[in-house]
């Protein structure tokens, strides 16, 4: 693949939230997930799991769980300074109920040798406590699953499918894990609704490289 082809693939990907009702062939989803499993992972642990949901009733229950949590958050007095946003969440947080398919991404536990060493040393040691916090902030398992999701999105886009990376459903994490029967030791981390696009979206402008790149020679 030439660089320009890769650039165009990445540049033209969009977060799609409206889909045609057509079924998405299983083969297309499997191809995308297979590519996602080639993401780099800490210690080559490959701590990913993907649940493909096409059952309309189950997708509806997942959406109801997310919407219920949005309504709860919007009901809190603390939401008043964000009233417009909170009301919009109630309407938009469960848009995926109309998606032909949803991919629930899960991540498994991963503890590197460094993590085990720091845990053994304990937070009673100031240096260990500091490093534990830093490593928690940049968690290897979250960086790993983020890479896999990005490859998943690109593979779906390359096949003409629209998708959206959703972290919002984490507000209903417990309900979603119960509905999907997520095994012990695994955590639901993101939802990716998928379908043939029923909308076209313009990409947001990107900051110039001069603002985001520093070269130290």
pLDDT tens string for the chain (217 positions)?
899 999 999 999 999 999 999 999 999 999 999 999 999 998 899 999 999 999 999 999 999 999 999 999 999 999 999 999 999 989 899 999 999 999 999 999 888 899 999 999 998 999 999 999 999 888 899 999 999 999 999 999 999 999 999 999 999 999 999 999 999 999 999 999 999 999 998 888 999 999 999 999 9
Residue-level pLDDT at 42 = 87
Q: Domains (ranges, CATH) in the chain?
A: 3-196 (3.40.109.10)
Residue-level pLDDT at 208 = 96
Strand partners, 48: 107
Strand partners, 23: none
Give the CA dihedral 147, 149, 151, 153, nearest 10 degrees: -150
Structure tokens at 63: 């959406």
- Structure pTM? 0.94
What are the residues whose beta carbons fall under 8 Å from the beta carbon of 103, sequence distance 6 or more? 29, 33, 50, 51, 52, 53, 152, 191, 192, 193, 194
Residue-level pLDDT at 167 = 96
């Amino acid at each position: 693949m030439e660089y320009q082809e890769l650039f165009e693939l990445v540049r033209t990907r969009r977060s799609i939230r409206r889909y045609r009702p057509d079924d998405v062939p299983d083969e297309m989803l499997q191809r995308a997930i297979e590519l996602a499993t080639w993401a780099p992972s800490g210690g080559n642990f490959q701590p990913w799991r993907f649940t493909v949901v096409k059952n309309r009733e189950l997708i509806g229950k997942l959406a109801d769980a997310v919407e219920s949590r949005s309504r709860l958050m919007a009901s809190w007095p603390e939401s008043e300074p964000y009233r417009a946003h909170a009301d919009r969440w109630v309407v938009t947080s469960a848009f995926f109920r109309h998606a032909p398919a949803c991919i629930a991404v899960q991540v498994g536990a991963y503890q590197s040798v460094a993590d085990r060493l720091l845990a053994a040393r304990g937070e009673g040691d100031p240096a260990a406590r500091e490093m534990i916090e830093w490593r928690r902030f940049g968690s290897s398992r979250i960086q790993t699953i983020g890479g896999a999701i990005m490859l998943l999105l690109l593979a779906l886009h390359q096949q003409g499918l629209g998708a959206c990376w959703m972290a919002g459903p984490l507000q209903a994490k417990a309900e979603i894990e119960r509905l999907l029967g997520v095994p012990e030791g695994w955590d639901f981390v993101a939802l990716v609704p998928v379908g043939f696009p029923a909308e076209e979206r313009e990409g947001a402008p990107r900051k110039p490289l001069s603002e985001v790149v520093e070269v130290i020679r």
